[in-house]
Amino acid sequence: MDDIVIILVQPQLGENIGATARAMKNFGLSELRIVSPRDGWPNEKAESMSVGAVDLIHSAKIFDSLEDAVKDLDFLYATTGERRDMNKDYIISRNLAQDLQQKGRVGILFGREATGLTNTEIAYANKILTINTVPDFSSLNIAHAVCLVCYEIFNNQNILRSDLGNNQKLATSQERAFLHKYLINALDGKGFFKVAEKKEHMSLKIQNILTRIDKLSHSDVQILIGIISSLVK
């Protein structure tokens, strides 16, 4: 998690900066950057609200411009409440950990409390990150948004680590597709699809089940192929 930097852009309230630091530390993140905090720096309220995470407040780096704050980073996400009409890839928080893989040093931008990030700021990012909420009450407290993102990252650390061991590499979409096709062919050979018209529907159902295997790895695919080829013997 040392490669993930949380960046607050012009946060207004010290309390929110403090609560952000606490949430980061709860979930093992440690690098906080702040672009032009409204009430200056250092900020007493940020210190007191951070409780035991005051070390993150003391080591936070302050920047005058977003450009300076992100120039050493390899990949940037911009967090927005509602989807904006910009020509940029979107990802929801639930899928963040998986998406983070092999991105190098990553920054995640959070905008000011009242107005979020401007379109100019979002333009710096490679992708937009959204947190799904009820549509008519989508404005999250900024520290809550940081907390949810850090929680997602922490709860999927094994995904993040999985590119270390070769066997633990996540399956590619090609491997998943191959597995599905291999299974359908085996079933075809055994006359599983008795009613031709239902084949497509059942094939989709099977694909749907396979898709729902969380963190399917390269070696999982090999095991499943081995199982299928053994069963048809």
Chain residues in the site for a second copy (CB under 8 A): 15, 19, 22-23, 25-28, 51-53, 94, 131-134, 137-141, 143-144, 147-148, 151, 154-155, 183, 186-187, 190-192, 202, 205-206, 209, 212-216, 220, 223-224, 226-228, 230-233
Residue with Cβ nearer a second copy (62 or 202): 202
103 vs 215 by CB, closer to a second copy: 215
Is the Cβ of residue 104 or residue 135 nearer to a second copy in the bound state?
135
Q: Which is nearer to a second copy, 169 or 215 (CB)?
A: 215
Neighbouring residues of 199: CB distance < 8 A, sequence distance ≥ 6: 193
Place of tokens 């899928």: 95
Q: Which amino acid is at 187?
A: L
Query: Rounded to the nearest whole angstrom, what is the least distance from the CB of residue 164 to a second copy in the complex?
Result: 19
What is the DSSP code string of 156-193?
A: THHHHHTTTSSTTPBPPHHHHHHHHHHHHHHHHHTT--
Choose between 177 and 223: whose C-beta lies nearer to a second copy. 223
Q: Reply yes or no: is the peptide bond before residue 135 cis, omega within 30 of 0.
A: no
Q: Which is nearer to a second copy, 36 or 207 (CB)?
A: 207
Q: How far apart are CA 217 and CA 226, in angstroms?
A: 14
Q: Closest Cα partner for 53 from 147, 137, 158, 140?
A: 147
Q: How far is the CB of 165 from a second copy (least distance, A)?
A: 14
3-state SS, residue 145:
helix
Minimal distance in Å, beta carbon 76 to a second copy?
Answer: 23
Q: Give whole-number Cα distances, 48 to 44, 54, 60, 221, in Å.
A: 6, 8, 15, 50
Q: Which residue shows structure tokens 């009430």?
A: 39
Residue 27 beta carbon to a second copy: minimum distance, rounded to whole angstroms: 6
Residue of 182, 165, 179, 185 whose CA lies nearest to 220: 179
Considering the complex, what minimum distance in angstroms separates the CB of residue 223 from a second copy? Answer: 6
The least distance separating a second copy from the CB of residue 2, rounded to whole angstroms, comes to 13
Whole-number Å distance between alpha carbons of 214 and 211: 8
Quote the least distance from Cβ 162 to a second copy, whole Å: 13
Q: Which is nearer to a second copy, 197 or 214 (CB)?
A: 214
